[in-house]
Structure 1
Amino acid sequence: MNLLDIKNLSIELTSHGENILAVDRVSMAIKDGEIRGLVGESGSGKSILAQAIIGVLDDKWHVEADRFHWQGKDLLRLPLEERKQIITKDVAMIFQEPMSCLDPTNSIGEQIEESLDSKQFSGYFWQKAQQRKAAAAKLLHKVGIKNHQACAKSYPHQLTNALCQRVMIAIALAKRPKLLIADEPTASMEASNQAQIFRLLASLNQLKNMSILLISHELEKISHWTDYLTVMYSGQFVEAGTTEQIFNTPFHPYTKALIASTPRAKNDVEKKSRLHAMPGSIPGLQHLPIGCRLGPRCPNAQKKCVRAPQIESYHGHQVSCHFSHREDY
């Protein structure tokens, strides 16, 4: 059974009396113990989709889906409070902007201790307090913060953005979630620190059987750590399959362009030569094309593309394109 099973999820934004379809009929499933990558340019709707999963979107966003199941339970049919209890207990998220997500009035140690599950502690209240401090220190060590005592006493504004990102990861891990959503978890880190965080997430997946949804606009960066990949463009589903399928036999023109733009895709790239780039830019929410939203940038675009393509599956490799050239598989 899938841990998370979403079919035809749409998210509408109400702005100045106008409804804008920010996410259009996206489907995605995450199995127990799976690491799935969610990739696409900035503005593809990846973060909005993640926020819809954990239920933190405000009233101006409207979420609808044919199916929105968590461990077999249809979340959209449950009362709001019951839905929040399930998600709060089983799902944690690492946000892109840690400085704005941390509480500026509480110390780092207090915020981590508050996130810990009280059921894992026993004894009198002073013994539980000591256990909480020890557990918080262990989490800070786990995410690579060596001077945990100074960090625990600090407030968010006293730390760098990279350290705040590590703290956010520690707070997310404190919940011992079944699904961890990591939205650009290493955006403000150096390459060596990025590798350390990715190794940490991979070890949690292997040792704790924690499922992970890894969100990034850099396909190559997360491809080393994922089992499956889902590609989005401008709020629409583009392609999904195993990481090997996506890299070896991409069907969709957008996926092909993403892979072609990575140095790893070409071993014969000359020094200082230009990498491949798709012309144009991702459209704004106020000016979305009809049908396939890649149409104005797509090299294969034809009249047929004014209608949104249907999702087709070939040996578990899914693609949403009128002209995907699957015969090359």
Structure 2
Amino acid sequence: MQLLDIRNLTIELDTPQGKVKALDRVSLTIQDGEIHGLVGESGSGRSLLARAILGIPGSNWTIKADRMMLNGRNLLEMNSQERRSIMGSEMAMIFQDPSSSLDPVISVGSQLIEAMPASTGFWWSRGKKRKRAAEKWLHKVGIKDHKKIMASFPWELSEGECQKVMIAMAVANSPKLLIADEPTASMETSTQAQIFRLLSQLNQLHGVSILLISHELETVSQWCERLTVLYAGQVMEAGPTQQLIAKPFHPYTKALLGHIPDYTETTQQKSILPTLPGSAPALQHLPIGCRLGPRCPEAKKTCVKQPILCRKKGRHFACHFPYTNETCHDSTIA
């Protein structure tokens, strides 16, 4: 069953240079109990997509979509009060910048306890139950000295500690959809593995669907069942993780896989790592048609026309010259 179904989402931003399409006809589908990876470079529009799903757009945004459904409910038709009512229980988000997402004048413990699920039983014991639940989740995300953390203010903590607090707040209610935007940023390697294991347990034991946003294709592919590759606000390719890695259809996906460092071979000191030539375009100077065109090794004159998003056996790709012999006539997404 589909939990999240987004069709042709477009986000336009009002800038001094006029309107620009930060996201251009992006489609995304997440099934119940699925871990879905969203991969892209910085500036590709990953966080914009997450904020659009949560209903926290910027003041200069214009959002259009053919469909944006969550568990059978149309998110586009909900008002702000209805959106707030589904936060926590229906969906939650781990933000990329945790320190700015916490209130600096309220203690971490107070904010964390407020995010805990409502307790049952006698009224005089409910506060203690929520406090114990908060301490339990702090232990799960790798914080040992919970008393110090709960008594501190956000500005007294490091970025890594704030990130762990945000994760505890997001997962405490076991939401149906958890959006994790770079959840292990500013964390040491051992803690990163612990956080990914926690997210995996939430998925397996509680059926929480997870949208895992990252720029690290190698890391995301280890935990996700399906992947969507985003570039400059356009979907390049999507499909089952193993199939996509074994045989990428899009030149951008192939370039990402080809430029993952090979740790099994010896690399000379100060040697240049392989990269895709050029850089991602600025929003004010987006290329016509396929936005990868100026950097694409397979680009031809046809690429000035935007390719349709083709569907082939559970795989989706938007390219005029994909690495497949099959002809595409279907632009729908199932």
> 2-side partners of 1:48 and 1:209: how far apart?
25
- In the alignment, what sits opposite 2:331? none
SS at match of 2:105: coil
Paired position in structure 2 for 1:123: 122
Aligned amino acid, residue 73 of structure 1: R
In 2, distance between residues paired with 1:269 and 1:234?
A: 33
Please state if 1:30 is matched with 2:30: yes
| Residues in 1 aligned to 2:51 and 2:173: alpha-carbon distance in whole angstroms | 17
Inter-CA distance 226–271: structure 2 relative to 1 (3 Å threshold): farther
What secondary structure, in the 3-state scheme, does the structure 2 residue paired with 1:321 have?
coil
Partner of 1:111: 111
CA distance in 2, matches of 1:304, 1:17: 28
User: Matches of residues 246-325 of structure 1 in structure 2 within 5 Å?
Assistant: 246-264=244-262, 270-272=267-269, 273-325=271-323
Q: Structure 2 length as normaliser, TM-score? A: 0.93
Quick one: distance in 1 between partners of 2:28 and 2:308? 15
Contact 1:263 1:269 in 2 (8 A): no
Cα deviation for residue 160 of structure 1 reads 0.9
| 3-state SS in 2 of match to 1:239 | strand
For residue 301 of structure 1, report the CA deviation from its aligned partner: 0.8
**Structure 1 residue 53 and structure 2 residue 53: aligned?**
yes
Give the aligned partner of residue 78 of structure 1.
78
CA shift, 1:88, in A, is 4.9
1:85, CA displacement in angstroms? Answer: 2.2
- Once residues 88 and 180 of structure 2 are traced to their aligned partners in structure 1, the CA distance between those partners, rounded to angstroms, is 15
2:167 counterpart residue number: 169
Q: Which residue identity does 1:99 align to in structure 2?
A: S
Offset at 1:148?
0.7
Residues 17 and 284, structure 2, Cα contact 8 Å, conserved in 1: no
Structure richer in helix, relative to its length? 1
Cross-structure match for 2:69: 69
TM-superposition CA deviations, 1:67-94 (whole Å, max 9, x none) = 1111112221334432442345311001
**Residue 251 of structure 1 contacts residue 325 of structure 1 at CA under 8 Å; is this kept in 2?**
yes
Unaligned runs of 5+ in 2: 327-334
Name 2:332's counterpart in structure 1: none
Distance 1:232 1:196 in 2: 27
Cα contact 2:230–2:236 (8 A) shared by 1: yes
How many residues of Structure 1 are paired with residues of Structure 2 in the alignment?
Answer: 326
- The equivalent of 1:242 in structure 2 is 240
Where does residue 179 of structure 2 map in the other structure?
181
Query: Please, which of 199, 206, 209 is the counterpart of residue 208 of structure 1?
Result: 206
Using the TM superposition, name which of 14-23 and 266-275 deviates more: 266-275
Gaps of 5+ in 1: none
Match of 2:197 in 1: 199
Cα deviation, residue 271, structure 1: 4.6
1:140-179 aligned at under 5 Å gives the runs 140-179=138-177
Partner amino acid for 2:218? E
Write out per-residue CA displacement over residues 32-74 of structure 1, whole angstroms, 9 at most, x where no aligned residue: 1100000011010000000100011122111110111111122
SS of corresponding position for 1:327: coil
Identity of aligned residues (%): 54
Using the alignment, how far apart are the partners of 1:267 and 1:326 within structure 2?
Answer: 29
Which residue identity does 1:61 align to in structure 2?
W
Which residue pairs with 1:226 in the alignment? Answer: 224
Spell out, residue by residue over 1:155-182, the C-alpha distance to the aligned partner (whole angstroms, 9 max, x if none). 1111111011000001101232111100
User: Aligned AA for 1:187?
Assistant: A
d(CA) in 2 for partners of 1:102, 1:75: 25
Query: Secondary structure in 1 aligned to 2:143?
Result: coil
| Paired AA for residue 305 in structure 2 | R
CA–CA separation in structure 1 for the residues paired with 2:170 and 2:284: 34
Structure 2 residue aligned with 1:94: 94
Deviations 1:117-140 (A, max 9, x none): 22x33212x211111111111111
Task: List per-residue Cα deviations over 1:240-266 (Å, max 9, x = no partner).
Answer: 0111011100111111111111125x8
Return the TM-score normalized by structure 1.
Answer: 0.95
Residue type at the aligned position of 2:249: F
**Are the counterparts in 2 of residues 20 and 285 from structure 1 also a CA contact under 8 Å?**
yes
Q: In structure 2, what residue type is equivalent to 1:25?
A: R
Q: Distance in 1 between matches of 2:266 and 2:243?
A: 23
